[in-house]
Amino acid sequence: MKQIENGQDKMKTKIVKIDSNNIDTSLLTEAAGILKNGGLVAFPTETVYGLGADGLNEEAAKKIYAAKGRPSDNPLIVHIADFHGLEELTRECPDKGRKLAEAFWPGPLTLIFKKSSKVPLSTTGGLDTVAIRMPSHLIAYELIRTSGIYIAAPSANVSGRPSPTKAEHVIEDLDGKIDMIIDGGKVNIGLESTIVDVTSKIPVILRPGYITVDMIEKVIGRVDIDKAVFSGIQDANIRPKAPGMKYKHYAPKGDLTIYEGSSENVVKAINKITEEKLLLGYRVGIIATEETFPYYKKGNVKTIGTRKDENTIARGLFEVLRDFDSEGTDYIFTESFDNNHLGQAIMNRLLKAAGYHIEKV
Ligand code: TXA
Ligand code: MG
């Protein structure tokens, strides 16, 4: 249904709650019907919420770009629910790719293959390759199975904003622009899937995520990491292989700076800069951890998790950035995290959100 509001075409978005432990099949069938008919449905996955459309329907895929305000050269991930999908969507399936799929699917890993002719260029942003993932979240998995289609789905945020980790975030960004939002509660992981390009002899990680380098190397031996993962977008000589990684991303409206150094020095430096900005009348937010929380004296201090379990940090990151946005925060100061295991993905997102602004103290 469409209605005209402020002279603009606005859609009525249906918002439904589905419990992943007890899936309401009639609601799921309704969502599947929308997708089959070329509509847009946002749904939870184990990583972040996705904005789904029929991946083999050129017009449906185009609607995703319009709703997100996404540049059309930024390709979409196609979500499948069985290995037949892998055969159908790819032209070649190298041994290492198959091994990774068998080891980590369903789960938070996206693999890049040479695409088959079935996949339209509007889905792949004009590329000859296709990104494929089999999600483990039961709602996502059952939605693909019930619809019987392959679901193209980027993160369900407006382009440039932090990825959504709960339905409220999707509503904030996409209400009135898509047909349906499935509220399945808060996601598990909180950071987008690891992306591995398996079209080269030595596979390359294009985006770090929950599936770490160590986990991948245990299955297939050496992998490389795309140089763009840790270098700034300012570096014109380094072109990321995942087109999406070149765009300004995850950026909060406030000015975000990362402080790196010993815990003591970081706390001291953040307390000092906070004091200065408060005196000038700015709203200041601090991203702290359970370990350091008591040491921040002023400003709006939020704990994202505990350093004893980096999963909690990953889960809290995008939410805290969005919360500071909705509170009109001018300056955000954050601690940094170890750059190994899951920390690699956390720092990759944090650096992008901060526009690579890092203070060593
Ligand atoms: O966890 C996830 O991956 C979530 C959930 C919804 O599955 N999806 C997601 O999609 O993060 P999106 O569109 O926000 O990020 C996809 C990334 C982009 O950086 C894009 O450029 C890259 O994947 N990508 C997609 N297809 C590609 C291809 N053929 N070659 C290289 N990079 C590709
Ligand atoms: Mg995204």
Site to probe by mutation for ligand 1, drawn from 166, 195, 245 as the one with most ligand atoms within 8 Å of Cβ, is 195
Predicted confidence band of residue 31 (pLDDT cuts 50, 70, 90): very high
Tens digit of each residue's pLDDT (9 = 90 or more) over 105-141: 999 999 999 999 999 999 999 999 999 999 999 999 9
329, 285 in Cβ contact below 8 A? yes
Tens digit of each residue's pLDDT (9 = 90 or more) over 49-84: 999 999 999 999 999 999 999 998 899 999 999 999
Tens digit of each residue's pLDDT (9 = 90 or more) over 203-226: 999 999 999 999 999 999 999 999
Q: What is the pTM of this model?
A: 0.95
Residue nearest to atom 17 of ligand 1 (CA): 244
CA dist 249 and 163 (Å) reads: 9
How do 41-43 and 50-54 pair as beta strands? antiparallel
Cα 238 to ligand 2 centroid, rounded to whole Å? 20
State the closest ligand 1 atom to the C-alpha of 108, by its place in the atom list counted from 1: 1
- Across all residues in the chain, what is the average pLDDT? 94
Residue 213's pLDDT is 96
Residue 340's pLDDT is 85
pLDDT surpasses 60 at 236: no
How do 151-152 and 50-54 pair as beta strands? antiparallel
Residues at Cβ < 5 Å from ligand 2 ion: 155
Tens digit of each residue's pLDDT (9 = 90 or more) over 264-320: 999 999 999 999 999 999 999 999 999 999 999 999 999 999 999 999 999 999 999
Nearest to 211 by CA among 106, 305, 304: 106
Tens digit of each residue's pLDDT (9 = 90 or more) over 147-188: 999 999 999 999 989 999 999 999 999 999 999 999 999 999
Predicted confidence band of residue 7 (pLDDT cuts 50, 70, 90): very low
